[in-house]
Amino acid sequence: MKILVTGGAGFIGSALIRHIIDNTEHYVINVDKLTYAGNLESLSPVADSSRYLFEQADICDAEVLKDIFAQHAPNAVMHLAAESHVDRSIEGPGAFIQTNVIGTYTLLEVARHYWARLDPEKRSAFRFHHVSTDEVYGDLDNPEDLFTEDTPYAPSSPYSASKASSDHLVRAWSRTYGLPVILTNCSNNYGPYHFPEKLVPHMILNALAGKPLPVYGDGSQIRDWLYVEDHTRALLEVLTRGKPGETYNIGGHNEKRNLEVVETICDLLDQQAPSERDPAIASYRDLITFVKDRPGHDKRYAIDASKIQRELGWQPTETFESGISKTVQWYLTNRSWWQRVMSGDYRLTRLGENT
């Protein structure tokens, strides 16, 4: 297949493209605007592949998207392009509405008109896979509850509201126009090449720099943690074997309190990088600092991933303990990647522009 991946220079998008190129014979057209969170250096392991192409484009630009569809004739779309940082959505929600809502609408319309002109066989095989988040469901009060594919939407932040909006648009384009769509809603991802503003890399890099490790409130918020490479395996299974019109929740079966995540990172760094710890402190845990909670902070997310396991045979291979250990080790051995992100030099890189 030729798979058009939007947001392919982001964290999950780049992991997905690396997985596709390394493990299949499919071709990938990476469409990314290259905002601050887009990093082509995350694609350097596959940038020279003859099955990988990069197109710098804004998904809100319909005319450019039309040209890309016409030129590359994709068999499927995997839509990951999104603004995704909750704190940024609170400070400036406009960008989230523009990219996540208007961008998704624009992509849907271009894909719909392209799909409608395909011959019957290609039209039947075409898929529009929309990748979303468990945050659209709000949070859970009962410790026994889990998010299922039928859980009502109750987003809490501008980010999750914009993603909920995009989910509704995708379903509407399926019901109204017949576009063959599939949706996935995933739990918190972590792993290599994660942009440093997110919790796990932020804590690793702050700790190595001897800076405070800020934890919102008392750190009791619970998230289900999903190793990004497990997620990408699931995404490809859904694209190739999932049923059009269906939603699949993807979770890691690893519920952890935020404070527990930070403490685990500290303990791993005490083991793997003791020489970099300030001699004045006994453990990286001494850097943990509790800060004022953010507005509307959801207390608990937890995914019921039984449907994708039952219907497609997918389940995560990494426990939180194995995945977080691999993640910490990756940041210790790939310093040039995150140092270039921290300095801003990564934005000067244009690896993979072999269109």
Q: Across-strand partners of 128? A: 77, 181
Phi-psi label, residue 245: left if phi above 0, alpha if psi -120 to 50, beta otherwise? left
Among 70, 74, 13, 4, which residue's Cα sits nearest to residue 38? 13
Query: 274: which DSSP letter?
Result: G
Q: Which residue has the tokens 């939407």?
A: 153
Whether the Cβ atoms of residue 329 and residue 272 lie closer than 8 Å to each other:
yes
Chain position carrying tokens 């919790």: 199
List active site positions: 134-135, 159
Cα–Cα distance between 159 and 296 in angstroms, integer?
A: 12
Would you state the structure tokens that stand for residue 346, as one six-digit string?
């990564």
Q: Pairing relation of β-strands 27-32 and 2-6?
A: parallel
Dihedral over Cα of 149, 154, 156, 159: its sign: positive
Among the listed residues 19, 122, 124, the one whose alpha carbon sits nearest the alpha carbon of residue 69: 122
